[in-house]
Amino acid sequence: MTGGSLGRRYAKALLEIAKGKGEVDRVGVDVGALLDAIATSGELKSLCENPAFAKSQRRKVLDALAERLGATETVKKFVRLLVDRDRIGHLGAVGRAYQGLADEVAGRVRASVASATRLTDTDRAAITSAIAAATGKTVVLEESVDATLIAGLVTRVGSVVYDGSLRMQLAAMRERMLAE
Amino acid at 128: T
Question: E-assigned strands of the chain?
Answer: 108-115, 138-145, 153-157, 160-163
* Long-range contacts formed by 72-80: CB under 8 A, 24+ apart: 72/23, 72/26, 72/27, 72/30, 74/14, 74/17, 74/18, 74/21, 74/23, 74/27, 75/27, 75/30, 75/31, 75/34, 78/14, 78/17, 79/34
- CA-CA distances (angstroms) from residue 1 to 11, 131, 134, 158? 15, 35, 35, 24
Q: Which domains does the chain have, with CATH numbers?
A: 3-104 (1.10.520.20), 108-179 (no CATH)
pTM of structure: 0.74
Question: Using one digit for the tens of pLDDT, what is the confidence trace for 122-172?
Answer: 989 998 998 899 889 998 899 999 888 778 788 888 778 877 766 677 777
Cβ atoms of residues 68 and 36 within 8 Å: no
**Over 80: is that where the pLDDT of 104 sits?**
yes
Residue-wise pLDDT tens digits, 57-102: 999 999 999 999 999 999 999 999 999 998 888 888 999 899 989 9
Residue (of 70, 66, 75, 65) closest to 27 by Cα position: 75
Rounded Cα distance between 126 and 117, Å, is: 16
CA 147 from chain center: how many Å?
24
